Structure 1
Amino acid sequence: MTTSVPHDRRLWPANARVALRSLGPQAGLTPVDGTPATLTHPVTDLLTAPDGRRDRQLLLGQAVTVLEDRAGWSFVQAGDGYVGYVPSDRLTAETVPTHRVGTFATHAYAAEDMKSPDVMQLPFGARVRVLDERRAFFETPQGFIPKKHLRPLDRPFTSPATIAQLHFGVPYLWGGNSTRGLDCSGLIAAALTACDMPCPGDADLQEQALGDALAPDAELQRGDLIFWCGHVGMMVDPATMIHANANAMAVTYEPLANAILRIRTVEASEVTSRRRVKGLCI
């Protein structure tokens, strides 16, 4: 008797027709190697199915592997392993970005002039390829972007907590990953990714993959992660957490003791772990 091996739908690079060749033979599915591609829009929802529910979001310049292009939808695998569907017209051939947006947001302008029409708004973390350097702007395929708003990809940030704080006030959005809106795990992913640290997209996977467990009575420090079932926040000092939360419908600061009491009272949920990501400037 053959038994099926359970797999996580979010990370399983196969659908009803194709499977990534590296999975090995999958009954009834065509093995594919996939084609590299790059996102062309500032923010694109990664859906569970064509016209389905949002799982996560992908930003301009992010690389994906296209496993299938069918009826206007592409089944893709993102760099963090997540799979899902995006409109095919939001993808282009693989490009190599050189810079990321290093401010809360920026604009790409039609000309080397801040009074020229703005042609695209870009969120923090969007990736672009610089074509030319001018006095105050970089020329990119998207338009002219202020030089002060872009940061070379070879100069990652070093403080996840500082990046998390950059997102203070961003509205809560289930499955969101940008300064237009994000959820609890989206905030953590934005903070760590900006520091070139691999980070899964959802809180349960982050709890499994990130850092080392701390004892319940350990003294907390800036950058430590606090997990509940389905929720995560980051400490900005030993007593205060920043987190995207549905209670405030925004990214807010909250004393950890208050958050523990509120979540226990409202959701009957307790802290499941405290974790420390090592090797970073906090």
Structure 2
Amino acid sequence: MVAVRRAIVPFLLAGALLLTGCSDDVPAAPVPLTTRTVTPTTVTSAPSPVTSPVLSSSVAAPPPVASGRVVVLDPGHNGGNGSHPAEINRQVPAGRGQTKPCNTTGTATNAGYPEHAFTWDVAQRVGKALAGKGIRVVYTRQNDTGVGPCVDRRAAIGNEAAADAVVSIHADGSTAAGANGFHVAYSAPPLNAAQGEPSTRLAQVVRDTLRTSGFSTSNYIGGNGLSARSDLGGLNLSTRPAVLVECGNMRNAAEAARMTSEEGRQQYASTLAAAIEAYLAS
């Protein structure tokens, strides 16, 4: 994530704990796209969908998806990161010759609802929907109380699973006035074939599905809902089609209210599941 989204986490820790969202670096300028506009874990139950009064309650049904496909869901951050500064500040490979901190604490709403809780809840809901279609779901973390894993390990989980798609779920923490909307990041310039057309197509399908379902594209980062990044280790180290979705800005009052509500999280999850199914069927 960009510098403007550093989260102020309400505790102080010994030893220079990095309090931020997903990335310290300024994203690269958007790259024009020419394409069209680990161990498995048991998927846990999620609450029944609740119609959101804010967004469109229906998502267009994607084409049928063959069973046997593998999707890796990467819920950003973790609940124990904040109390383990030495572990999460440890430098790890991040691709393109870079090293970065193992992980970060993530951001939070102004009322204190943390990004790690939001991403975990949404990922579980997405996983339940996909598993119901015969898709094997693998998570990069098994609970919301642990530490890490580091960004390089998260990428390795997707690679080892031979994932058909890897979707990292996050939320932003920009304090810029009026900053709102989602964006979808992808690795650019690509470092392997999977980071080329497959990842850019995945990014576009996710962007288009979110937009069609009533979510607004970001007005402060990327362009037209897409953000080309060269600094995100989880994307740089992936050899599978992979994207990172910043679902919205947790510091924006309207988006914070949506993320905090059960019906809002279900709306995000239903839309992301539909996007993944549409990508797998394309």
- Interval containing the TM-score (normalised by the shorter chain): under 0.3
Q: Say which structure is richer in helix.
A: 2
Select the structure that is richer in strand: 1
TM-score (norm 2): 0.24
| Larger-Rg structure | 1
Give the number of the structure with larger relative contact order, counting CA–CA contacts within 8 Å between residues 6 or more apart: 2
